[in-house]
């Protein structure tokens, strides 16, 4: 009877609190997200009405799913609680707690054993099937062992605990009550907010989702203990209001979220839970089953035809816009015209040093690298230079081949094939001594050593994710190599050299550099300290060239492969986006005999190689697509630049697919898979916070230009050899049968006497 009465009371408690707590969850989570954006000045919205609409959209995305998930979880928890009720009608909290502890220990043990078995099997089996089978068997065996020892282990732990405490009381019963939950919640909040600061390996881990999740659970628990209405009418009314608001917001947001690009941008980019959840919900309205719907983030321009959706390969000249960018691909109307080459001037064999700095942002150079800013005063300073890719192997290959990433011909692992002519090869064939000093990860594996007489990878001991400063070693190596060239110790002996040095230190992980103290332990401040350290040793290289009387005969180029992100737009590191912190890079060109200039016109890195060769009187390879700006630099009068394009390509390392364009003061970014445009006026909004694509009078013309480029871009990916993932809808490549050479009759070795 007592057990039956207890069960009945538990059921009553279940129906009394489940709906109430679920309703709280449906509103607390979007409110927390909304408050986080408001307090931290995040998001692309402005004004009271837009913030209110943002809250409505966030409730529409999260409210109903949170209500359903919370209700399901709470029902499961209540069912588990019923299973822990003892004969006297009370749940024994001590045994529950010890079970959780033992279960956690068991999960960790299974994971560690599986990890060790996987490593062992990988060293002994070449087939992935055997490795997976070994790991599965080990996990299953350990699960059985943990389960068999569960009952005696928990009993032993309980007996030991009671023996240590010296009492038969249940010391942890109060722990599960309100005060215990509040105390435990405060300790948990302290841990999740302090450990990422105190523990160094967690500095590069984004734990914001965990932190806000803990706050949400804590706040929900507080409301459940302190704010439960005494009158059932209030409770019922609140639950009805919460559910009705969630349903109405869900319906509105599903159909109208894409009406305001800034709302989409804020929800998708700046939120922790709303963005991923809305992306998952976008699959609900896919009527034609082509993988993209018309609801939430989905941008299917024709949801009744599976042959039309964003990101598809556009069949040329068929009169149909398969990928929703606004027009059909016209192969006879090229967007990027082949540049006109002038006859080279007389040869000027100056020394050339190309320095690329990994992950160096343009704003970081201008704020934290005084040696380079001194160099800028006697150089041609391109203040609006852009890398064409967001990853090293795309951007540097583009830099030294003067081709956009999607138009490159690469082999495995994005390695330039011999048919591509690298800048290094041009100098080698023209009689320069060529050398490369870089880390092995990118420059050896990716094939960028092509065309060098000497390829030195000693800096890899410091820089291949070794978290040790290597700029000092690289500068020493460059100066020693110059000394060996000057002493005639290098073969072939030449009267000029071309040396490419790659400073890798600003790349993550962001280590501490002795003598260059960071303002704090944050990744960004450490990154800035590393930039100052690298700047010092580039300055030491310049001083070394001056001391060797080579400075007046040396062309020096300094640029970067890409930038780096520190949550400027909700992202970390690089390779995923095309915002200014990623694509806007330094570009300094110091040429003896040319006056210092500041060029504010946007330029792309594919223009560097043709310009450099033109300045030195070398013939520009016909395959180079960049325009030479040499004549403009000589006269000091720059023509208005053509649009500069940049790309994020999907491959085995990165899944994002974006195409961008800088045209004058405007920058337009297109997310290919989301069919979403972002337009920024960089003169008034250099941080790219306000997307004006829906209200700018220039948006239509800019979208048409970028749309034509997107068609060409997808066509290049479909028919080229860039190594990126081919777009959907591409006709299968024809398999050409290898022609077998006819066997020639074997000549007899016997000589016939006539």
Encode pLDDT of 501-512 as tens digits.
999 889 888 888
Q: Summarize the confidence of residues 34-46 as an average pLDDT.
A: 76
pLDDT at 201 over 80: no
Find out whether 422 and 624 touch, Cβ atoms under 8 Å: no
User: What tokens appear for 559 in the block?
Assistant: 């640029």
Q: 225 or 646: whose pLDDT is higher?
A: 646
Inter-CA distances, 61 with 29, 332, 566, Å: 11, 45, 27
Residue 135's pLDDT is 84
DSSP state of 720: S
Find out whether 44 and 57 touch, Cβ atoms under 8 Å: no
Least confident of 56-60, 312-316, 542-546, 691-695: 312-316
Residue 356 forms beta bridges with which residues?
502, 559
Taking alpha carbons only, the member of 718, 738, 711, 716 closest to residue 324 is: 711
Dihedral-angle region of residue 691 (phi above 0 means left; psi in -120 to 50 means alpha; beta otherwise): beta
Residue 754's pLDDT is 35
- Distance (Å, rounded) from C-alpha 43 to C-alpha 270? 6
Identify which of 121-125, 418-422, 517-521, 575-579 has the greatest average pLDDT.
575-579
Least confident of 138-152, 349-363, 469-483: 138-152
Residue 284's pLDDT is 77
pLDDT at 82 over 70: no
Q: Summarize the confidence of residues 385-389 as an average pLDDT.
A: 94
How is domain 354-640 classified at the architecture level of CATH? 3-Layer(aba) Sandwich (3.40)
Q: Summarize the confidence of residues 433-442 as an average pLDDT.
A: 83
Least confident of 67-76, 169-178, 334-343, 690-699: 169-178
Per-residue confidence band for 36, with pLDDT thresholds at 50, 70 and 90:
confident
pLDDT at 453 over 80: yes
- Distance (Å, rounded) from C-alpha 197 to C-alpha 472? 29
Residue 226's pLDDT is 46
Per-residue confidence band for 747, with pLDDT thresholds at 50, 70 and 90:
very low
pLDDT at 89 over 60: no
Q: Summarize the confidence of residues 74-99 as an average pLDDT.
A: 60
Identify which of 1-5, 330-334, 732-736 has the greatest average pLDDT.
330-334
Residue 228's pLDDT is 46
Dihedral-angle region of residue 554 (phi above 0 means left; psi in -120 to 50 means alpha; beta otherwise): beta
- Distance (Å, rounded) from C-alpha 156 to C-alpha 145? 17
Parts of the chain belonging to CATH 3.40.720.10: 354-640
Q: 291 or 397: whose pLDDT is higher?
A: 397
Per cent of the chain over pLDDT 70 is 78
Least confident of 183-192, 457-466, 732-741: 732-741
Find out whether 25 and 242 touch, Cβ atoms under 8 Å: no
Q: 414 or 349: whose pLDDT is higher?
A: 349
Least confident of 125-129, 196-200, 395-399: 196-200
pLDDT at 351 over 90: yes
Q: What is the pTM of this model?
A: 0.75
Per-residue confidence band for 337, with pLDDT thresholds at 50, 70 and 90:
confident
Find out whether 437 and 499 touch, Cβ atoms under 8 Å: yes
Q: 89 or 205: whose pLDDT is higher?
A: 205
Sheet (strand 666-671) strand order:
644-648, 658-663, 666-671, 676-681
Per-residue confidence band for 444, with pLDDT thresholds at 50, 70 and 90:
low
Parts of the chain belonging to CATH 3.30.1120.10: 310-339+657-728
Instruction: Read off the pLDDT of residues 148-174 as tens digits, 9 standing for 90 and up.
Output: 888 777 777 777 766 665 554 444 444
Share the mean pLDDT of the chain.
Answer: 80
Per-residue confidence band for 318, with pLDDT thresholds at 50, 70 and 90:
confident
- Distance (Å, rounded) from C-alpha 698 to C-alpha 745? 71
Element (H, E) at 437: strand 433-437
pLDDT at 276 over 90: no
Q: Summarize the confidence of residues 602-619 as an average pLDDT.
A: 94
In the numeric block, the tokens 């599976």 are attached to: 306
| Three-state DSSP string of 624-661 | CCCCCCHHHHHHCCCCCCCCEEEEECCCCCCCCCEEEE
Residue 679's pLDDT is 94
Instruction: Read off the pLDDT of residues 237-266 as tens digits, 9 standing for 90 and up.
Output: 677 777 788 888 888 888 888 888 888 888
Instruction: Read off the pLDDT of residues 113-147 as tens digits, 9 standing for 90 and up.
Output: 888 888 888 777 767 777 888 888 888 888 888 88
Find out whether 698 and 680 touch, Cβ atoms under 8 Å: no
CATH match of 310-339+657-728 with 3.30.1120.10? yes
Residue 645's pLDDT is 95
pLDDT at 624 over 60: yes
Q: 602 or 637: whose pLDDT is higher?
A: 602
pLDDT at 70 over 80: no
- Distance (Å, rounded) from C-alpha 658 to C-alpha 671? 5
pLDDT at 399 over 90: yes
Q: Summarize the confidence of residues 665-682 as an average pLDDT.
A: 91
Q: Summarize the confidence of residues 384-388 as an average pLDDT.
A: 95
- Distance (Å, rounded) from C-alpha 183 to C-alpha 668? 50
Written as one string, the DSSP assignment of 279-337 is HHHGGGG-TT-SS--SSTT---S-TT-TT--TTPPPPTTSS--TTSSSS---TTS-SSP
Q: 148 or 357: whose pLDDT is higher?
A: 357
Least confident of 95-104, 509-518, 617-626: 95-104
pLDDT at 233 over 80: no
Identify which of 132-146, 207-221, 333-347, 493-507 has the greatest average pLDDT.
493-507
Element (H, E) at 485: helix 471-486
- Distance (Å, rounded) from C-alpha 196 to C-alpha 341? 56
pLDDT at 744 over 70: no
User: What tokens appear for 324 in the block?
Assistant: 């929703």
User: What tokens appear for 723 in the block?
Assistant: 């190594």
Residue 227's pLDDT is 46
pLDDT at 661 over 90: yes
Residue 728 DSSP SS3:
coil
Least confident of 65-69, 207-211, 357-361, 638-642: 207-211
Per-residue confidence band for 583, with pLDDT thresholds at 50, 70 and 90:
very high
In the numeric block, the tokens 């948990």 are attached to: 188
User: What tokens appear for 516 in the block?
Assistant: 């260059």
Per cent of the chain over pLDDT 90 is 29
Residue 367's pLDDT is 94
Q: What share of the chain is helix, strand, coil (3-state, %, to 5)?
A: 50, 10, 40
The stretches of 227-288 forming alpha helices (DSSP H) are 232-256, 261-265, 274-281
- Distance (Å, rounded) from C-alpha 664 to C-alpha 246? 44
Residue 364's pLDDT is 94
- Distance (Å, rounded) from C-alpha 301 to C-alpha 324? 6
Find out whether 350 and 592 touch, Cβ atoms under 8 Å: yes
């Amino acid at each position: 009877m007592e057990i039956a009465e207890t069960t009945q009371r538990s059921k009553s408690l279940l129906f009394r609190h489940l709906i109430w707590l679920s309703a709280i969850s449906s509103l607390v989570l979007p409110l927390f997200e909304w408050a986080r954006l408001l307090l931290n000045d995040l998001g692309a919205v402005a004004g009271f009405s837009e913030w209110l609409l943002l809250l409505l959209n966030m409730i529409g995305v999260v409210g109903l799913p949170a209500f359903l998930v919370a209700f399901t979880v709470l029902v499961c928890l209540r069912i588990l609680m019923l299973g822990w009720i003892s004969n006297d009608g009370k749940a024994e909290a001590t045994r529950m707690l010890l079970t959780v502890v033992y279960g956690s220990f068991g999960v960790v043990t299974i994971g560690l054993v599986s990890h060790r078995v996987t490593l062992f099997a990988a060293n002994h089996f070449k087939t992935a099937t055997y490795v997976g089978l070994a790991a599965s068997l080990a996990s299953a065996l350990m699960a059985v062992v943990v389960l068999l020892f569960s009952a005696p282990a928990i009993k032993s732990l309980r007996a030991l605990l009671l023996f240590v405490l010296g009492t038969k009381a249940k010391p942890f019963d109060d722990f599960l009550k309100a005060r215990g939950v509040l105390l435990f919640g405060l300790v948990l909040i302290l841990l999740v907010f302090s450990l990422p600061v105190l523990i160094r390996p967690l500095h590069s881990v984004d734990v914001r989702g965990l932190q806000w999740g803990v706050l949400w659970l804590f706040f929900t628990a507080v409301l459940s203990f302190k704010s439960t209405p005494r009158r059932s009418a209030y409770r019922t009314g609140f639950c009805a209001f919460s559910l009705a608001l969630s349903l109405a917001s869900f319906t509105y947001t599903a159909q109208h979220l894409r009406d305001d690009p800034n709302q989409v941008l804020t929800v998708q980019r700046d939120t922790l839970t709303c963005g991923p959840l809305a992306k998952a919900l976008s699959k609900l309205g896919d009527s034609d089953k082509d993988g993209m719907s018309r609801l939430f983030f989905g941008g299917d321009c024709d949801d009744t035809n599976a042959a039309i959706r964003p990101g598809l390969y556009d069949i040329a000249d068929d009169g149909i816009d398969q990928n929703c960018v606004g027009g059909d691909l016209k192969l006879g109307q090229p967007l990027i015209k082949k540049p006109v080459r002038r006859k080279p001037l007389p040869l000027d064999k100056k020394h050339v040093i190309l320095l690329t700095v990994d992950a160096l942002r343009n704003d970081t150079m201008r704020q934290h690298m005084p040696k380079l800013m001194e160099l800028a005063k006697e150089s041609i300073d391109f203040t609006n230079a852009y890398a064409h890719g967001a990853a090293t192997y795309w951007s540097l290959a583009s830099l030294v081949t003067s081709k956009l990433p999607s138009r490159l011909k690469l082999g495995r692992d994005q390695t330039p094939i011999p048919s591509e002519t690298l800048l290094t090869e041009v100098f080698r064939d023209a009689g320069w001594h060529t050398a490369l000093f870089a880390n092995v990860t990118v420059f050896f594996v990716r094939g960028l050593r092509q065309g060098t007489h000497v390829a030195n990878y000693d800096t890899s001991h410091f820089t291949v994710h070794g978290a040790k400063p290597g700029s000092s070693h690289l500068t020493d190596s460059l100066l020693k190599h110059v000394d060996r060239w000057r002493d005639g110790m290098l073969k072939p002996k030449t009267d000029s050299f071309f040396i490419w040095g790659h400073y890798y230190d600003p790349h993550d992980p962001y280590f501490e550099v002795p003598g260059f103290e960071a303002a704090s332990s944050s990744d960004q401040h450490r990154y800035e300290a590393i930039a100052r350290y690298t700047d010092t040793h580039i300055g030491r290289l310049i001083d070394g060239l001056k001391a060797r009387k080579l400075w007046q005969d040396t062309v020096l180029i300094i640029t970067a492969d890409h930038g780096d992100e520190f949550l400027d737009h909700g992202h970390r590191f690089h390779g995923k986006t095309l915002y200014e912190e990623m694509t806007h890079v330094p570009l300094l060109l110091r040429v003896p005999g040319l006056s210092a200039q500041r060029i504010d016109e946007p330029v792309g890195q594919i223009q560097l190689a043709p310009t450099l060769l033109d300045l030195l009187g070398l013939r520009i390879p016909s395959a180079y697509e960049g325009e030479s700006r040499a004549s403009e630099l000589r006269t000091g009068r720059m023509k208005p630049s053509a649009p500069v394009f940049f790309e994020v390509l999907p491959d085995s390392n990165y899944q994002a697919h974006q195409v961008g364009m800088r045209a004058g003061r405007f920058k337009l970014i297109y997310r290919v898979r989301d069919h979403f445009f972002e337009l920024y006026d960089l003169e008034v909004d250099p941080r790219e916070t306000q997307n004006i694509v829906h209200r700018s009078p220039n948006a239509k013309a800019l979208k048409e230009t970028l749309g034509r480029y997107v068609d060409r871009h997808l066509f290049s990916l479909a028919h080229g050899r860039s190594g990126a993932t081919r777009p959907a809808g591409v006709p299968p490549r024809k398999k050409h049968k290898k022609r077998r050479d006819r066997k020639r009759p074997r000549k007899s070795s016997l000589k016939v006497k006539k």
